[in-house]
Amino acid sequence: MSTIDDLKTTLHHAADGPDHALGGRAAAVHQRVRVVRRRRRVAVAGTVAALVAVAGIGVGVGLDRDERNDTLDPAHGLDIDSTITWNGFEYAVVDAERVELAEAGADDLRVEPGGGDDTRLLAVETDGLGTGDVTLVGGGEILGRASDALPVTIDAYTREIRLEVGDPSGEAADPAANATVTWAVYERTDTLPEGPSDGHAVWPERSGGMTLVAGGFSEPGSGVLEAEYRGRLDAVRFSTYCRSSEPGLFLHVAVDGESRGFGHRCTADPGEDPTGVWSGMDGAEVAAHTFSVRVTRDELGRGEPVSVDDLVVGVGVYETDGRFRVQGQWLDEVVEEGTLWRRDRVHRLTSTAETLRIDTTDGPVSLHLVSPGGPTVALVAQGRRPGSATSSPFIGAGGSLSIHLPAGDVYEVALDTDTERTDAPGEGAVEDVEASVVVYRPTGR
């Protein structure tokens, strides 16, 4: 039985019972690509200063939040960056350590990121490992490697991260006598990116490789807002925002008077980043267009717009850096998953017997699965390193999702189906599928 067959068997066994590691799996699948901090912030006025651009991974030594003393050097004398930018937002170091491998035990290579309900980032750097690497393992999944040169997102379900030193191929590493591993945990700051803001949320000037061309927020109390844009509708995507503590309010959006969505429930804390859900359209004609949002008490949009003291609505219209079609679905040439990734190539799959060979020797890869029809499918990948298997949730027709493959390995990638089987898991007949796998690589590499 091949390694992919083994992985499919594991996938089906996991599907037969409750998934107690659901949080860890979601983290590994990178459905954590949009970082939204849920705790309430105090309001800040207007547009905020631009974020610091960070090249590389910053590390430093910090203190527990309740004990933090701003007069101390958060880098503890280390020549490092104290902040990093992720999904356009600023993160500051809150805990860090440099481990000398010659003196390190197993406990020294475990990280407890903490953070409660807040999403945090973990960055790892190495020195003196030669051809070796450090693999980050949490929730039973490989989350990333130091050679990715990217932090990994740690959600509240992940209590501990193991730092495994070795070669991704499974061979033992031969580090130098003075080899070190440095890890740092980062937490979101209150700084917002540059762009229109209501003091709670912001339309960033750049988001996911796209540029803001129209949009903003209403005055407090108003449930109506319009944004004007001139250009092609198929060249833009838009997102909306609605914040109010009053229940029973629904946001509706129209473009040039035609409904483009209704029934979005307004909430008291929709988060600081309203760009998590995008809508796109067809239309190649260059013309003037009006994007309008309004709030009513009816889920279907009937009735007059309402006015509530703390109500704020918003709309952001973004021009893409290029899109392409894959089996009838629009995808972006450049996507943002923490950092920016650009399309490399597209593979079409028509059978569960087909496999792809994905080489990440030169850096990590993001795989986007598109399923326009056929049976429910999942994406499965197996690297050379023992325990390097990963898989996506199952998706049906019209769905899409992504998983990340860490650097320094060669993966066998295939599709599995969620159909009923009468034989043993992983030993069923070959099934026809209809799906595509889009390979993205980090920009600038």
Q: Could you tell me the fold of the domain covering 52-188?
A: Jelly Rolls (2.60.120)
Confidence category of residue 31, pLDDT binned at 50, 70, 90: very low
137-172 per-position pLDDT tens digit: 988 888 999 999 999 998 877 889 999 998 776 677
**pTM for this model (two decimals):** 0.74
pLDDT in the model for residue 35 = 29
**CATH assignment, 206-323:** 2.60.120
| CA atoms of 336 and 58, how far apart (whole Å) | 20
Confidence category of residue 428, pLDDT binned at 50, 70, 90: low
pLDDT of 15 higher than 60: no
pLDDT of 298 higher than 80: yes
Instruction: Please tell me which residue, 37 or 279, carries the higher pLDDT value.
Output: 279
Least confident residue range of 60-69, 98-107, 173-182: 60-69
Q: What percent of the chain is predicted at pLDDT more than 90?
A: 42
**CATH assignment, 338-442:** 2.60.120.340
Name the β-bridge partners of 146.
none
pLDDT of 178 higher than 90: yes
Instruction: Please tell me which residue, 219 or 427, carries the higher pLDDT value.
Output: 219
Confidence category of residue 426, pLDDT binned at 50, 70, 90: very low
pLDDT of 358 higher than 50: yes
| CA atoms of 372 and 279, how far apart (whole Å) | 17
Q: What percent of the chain is predicted at pLDDT more than 70?
A: 77
- The residues, ordered by sequence, that sit 6+ positions from 1 with a Cβ below 8 Å of its Cβ are 9, 426
Instruction: Please tell me which residue, 79 or 352, carries the higher pLDDT value.
Output: 352
- The residues, ordered by sequence, that sit 6+ positions from 367 with a Cβ below 8 Å of its Cβ are 358, 379, 381, 402, 403, 404, 405, 413, 437, 438, 439, 440
| CA atoms of 45 and 77, how far apart (whole Å) | 33
Confidence category of residue 49, pLDDT binned at 50, 70, 90: very low
| Alpha helical stretches, state H, 311-401 | none
Asked if domains 52-188 and 206-323 share a fold, the reply is yes
| CA atoms of 218 and 239, how far apart (whole Å) | 15
- For residue 275, give both structure tokens: 């760009």
- Taking the domains of the chain in order of start, what are their residue ranges? 52-188, 206-323, 338-442
Instruction: Please tell me which residue, 194 or 81, carries the higher pLDDT value.
Output: 194
